[in-house]
């Protein structure tokens, strides 16, 4: 947020919360949920967007209608075939879209699986400029209702957290995701820190901050502290692969460690050197995901295996076989 715009916003909230902390909290929630423009900024982003769009050019496209007039958009590849094949769901992060997940989608398509890649409300082809966790979880449920159960779901950042919220069945009246395996890439384990950081950024005082956080319960039916999916990971009873970079500057690696401590069915893979965004298309990360989806249990001897850009590092999915040969 530009410095001048932020100063204006802070000034506005300073006056509004002096009159009504509740109104300030509601206004802050609307601002918190406003999504960035889907148009890529800068030559690098434009190039990545164009390349991803080209890869998805032949995909079928679907509109998924949600409550309150919101909608999500879905790309489907390898769909409509006769006979059973695996079906995978892909979800993106905040400010991203399915086209930026094209490397991952292409890898999954190459396995012969049916692949559905979502654009959440306010992102990509979905339209609008508004998203909160409740809408994301509704979009995941709508995808499962439209396309059928998924064998696995893979999500980056906010999209990974949404998958875990859905799988844990945290939202009342929204069907939980039933995907047999989950992969979370650079995903947060809870949301309270985001609201706290946002409140500090726009200058909310304690009463307005409380009103902001109360909006979560009003809109989703659950309190902000209920969205702690780090602990919930131990109760979903399915294999989960957590992939994170210790150099991630947007989502602290502490979130990955919380997931990794959730139980024996959760595997933690460090993909250091790839940060928060490049990690979704990194070749060793894609290889690790492919192995996990093929059924690798990958039971590590230490809490958290590692892959790096260095070619000498053993791919994660080869570790069990290499250990057996020792």
Residue the block writes with tokens 């609201």: 195
Give percent above pLDDT 90 in the chain.
82
- Residue 234 has a pLDDT of 81
Q: What is the pTM of this model?
A: 0.90
pLDDT band at 313; cut points 50, 70, 90: very low
Question: What mean pLDDT do residues 181-188 have?
Answer: 98
Q: What angle do CA 316, 319, 325 make, to 5 degrees?
A: 160
Angle, nearest 10°, between helix axes 102-110 and 283-293?
40
Rounded to whole angstroms, the Cα distance separating 242 from 224 reads 23
Rounded to whole angstroms, the Cα distance separating 165 from 140 reads 10
Residue that wins the pLDDT comparison between 260 and 307: 260
Residue pair 240/233 in contact by the 8 Å Cβ criterion: yes
**Can you list the positions of beta strands (E) in 176-216?**
181-185
- Residue 198 has a pLDDT of 97
Closest by CA position to 90, among listed 143, 40, 142, 48 = 143
Question: What mean pLDDT do residues 277-297 have?
Answer: 93
- Residues in a beta bridge with 45: none
For residue 79, give the DSSP letter. Answer: -
The per-residue pLDDT for range 4-38, each reduced to its tens digit, is 899 999 999 999 999 999 999 999 999 999 999 99
pLDDT surpasses 60 at 264: yes
Rounded to whole angstroms, the Cα distance separating 85 from 77 reads 12
Residue pair 103/95 in contact by the 8 Å Cβ criterion: no
Cβ neighbours for 246, distance < 8 A, ≥ 6 positions apart: 253, 270, 272
Residue pair 228/189 in contact by the 8 Å Cβ criterion: yes
pLDDT surpasses 60 at 314: no
- Tell me how far CA of residue 73 lies from CA of 22, 146, 165, in angstroms: 33, 12, 20
pLDDT band at 312; cut points 50, 70, 90: very low
The per-residue pLDDT for range 44-101, each reduced to its tens digit, is 999 999 999 999 999 999 999 998 899 999 999 999 766 788 999 999 999 999 999 9
What domains can you pick out in the chain, each with its CATH number? 1-32+192-226 (no CATH), 46-191+232-324 (3.40.50.1820)
pLDDT band at 222; cut points 50, 70, 90: very high
Least confidently predicted of 25-39, 225-239, 273-287: 225-239
Closest by CA position to 213, among listed 231, 203, 225 = 225
3-state SS assignment for residue 45: helix
Rounded to whole angstroms, the Cα distance separating 214 from 208 reads 10
């Amino acid at each position: 947020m530009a410095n001048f715009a932020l100063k204006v916003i802070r000034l506005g909230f300073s006056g509004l919360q002096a009159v009504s902390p509740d109104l300030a909290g509601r206004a802050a929630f609307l601002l918190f949920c406003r999504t960035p423009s889907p148009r890529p900024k800068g030559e690098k982003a434009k190039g990545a967007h164009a390349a991803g769009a080209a890869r998805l050019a032949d995909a079928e496209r679907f509109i998924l209608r949600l409550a309150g007039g919101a909608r999500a958009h879905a790309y489907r590849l390898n769909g409509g075939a006769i006979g059973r094949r695996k079906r995978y769901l892909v979800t993106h992060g905040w400010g991203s879209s399915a086209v930026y997940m094209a490397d991952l989608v292409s890898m999954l398509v190459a396995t012969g699986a049916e692949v559905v890649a979502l654009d959440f409300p306010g992102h990509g082809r979905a339209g609008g400029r508004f998203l909160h966790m409740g809408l994301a979880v509704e979009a995941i449920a709508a995808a499962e209702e439209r396309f059928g159960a998924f064998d696995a779901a893979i999500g980056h950042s906010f999209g990974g957290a949404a998958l875990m919220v859905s799988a844990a069945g945290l939202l009342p009246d929204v069907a939980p995701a039933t995907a047999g395996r989950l992969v979370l890439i650079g995903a947060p384990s809870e949301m309270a820190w985001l609201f706290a950081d946002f409140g500090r950024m726009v200058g909310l005082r304690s009463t307005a901050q409380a009103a902001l956080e109360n909006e979560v319960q009003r809109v989703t039916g659950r309190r902000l502290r209920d969205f702690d999916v780090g602990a919930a990971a131990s109760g979903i009873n399915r294999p989960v692969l957590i992939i994170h970079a210790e150099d991630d500057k947007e989502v602290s690696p502490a979130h990955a460690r919380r997931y990794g401590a959730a139980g024996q069915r959760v595997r933690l893979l460090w993909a250091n050197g790839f940060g928060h965004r490049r990690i979704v298309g990194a070749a060793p990360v894609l290889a690790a995901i492919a192995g996990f989806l093929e059924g690798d249990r990958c039971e590590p001897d230490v809490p958290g295996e590692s892959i790096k850009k260095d070619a000498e590092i053993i791919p994660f999915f080869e570790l069990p076989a290499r250990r057996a040969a020792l």
